[in-house]
Copies of this chain bind each other. A is one copy, B any other.
Amino acid sequence: MSAPDAGPRPWGRIRDDIKARGLRWTRQRMRILEVLEAAEGHVTGSELVERCRERDPATTPSTVYRTLDVLEELGYLSHSHAASGREEFHVPPVAEHAHLECRICGQTWELNADEAASVVEPVARRRGFVADVGHLTILGRCAACATHARIPVEDARRGR
């Protein structure tokens, strides 16, 4: 994503941005934006749907997901997939970052922009590939689990 990021949240601009593109400013979108304003860091899609329903029980999931798509296209959000495959949205203000997720203990860590850049540098250099760092989640075993756990087969199950 290349648009607004860092600094105070751009919610105020969004309305104008939406209208400037011939898109429409609706009650539903306002509500979703309100929810996003109250959120921070990472939120799953269903959590956002849930929070919208708290404000207005009539909220429909499809509308929420479609609006999230639009906001992502406009560059105000990004999402990645956790190891479970569920969507995780990154809500500003959060600098763009990637994730590390341990399949044994389930813990996650963030990779800051620099660290993430060093990870994708080889594919950029050798293939000219411009990685979407915000979407990146690396699954594996964290230092602690890698050393003392002997991959207990039954417990490892949670990789999907």
Contact = CB atoms under 8 A, between A and B. Distances in A.
A103 B123 contact: no
Interface string A121-147: 011001111111001101111110011
Interface string A69-107: 100111000010101011100000000000010110000
A61 interface: no
B139 A136 contact: yes
A79 B143 CA distance: 22
Contact of A129 (B120, B143, B151): B143
A159 interface: yes
Contacts of A118: 122
Contacts of A13: none
Interface string A48-81: 0000000000000000000001001110000101
B139 A135 contact: yes
Interface of A: 2, 69, 72-74, 79, 81, 83, 85-87, 100, 102-103, 109, 111, 115, 118-120, 122-123, 126-132, 135-136, 138-143, 146-147, 151, 153-154, 156-157, 159-160
Given A129-B140, A135-B140, 13 more contacts: A100-B129, A102-B129, A103-B132, A109-B127, A115-B126, A119-B119, A119-B122, A129-B138, A129-B143, A132-B140, A132-B141, A132-B159, A135-B159
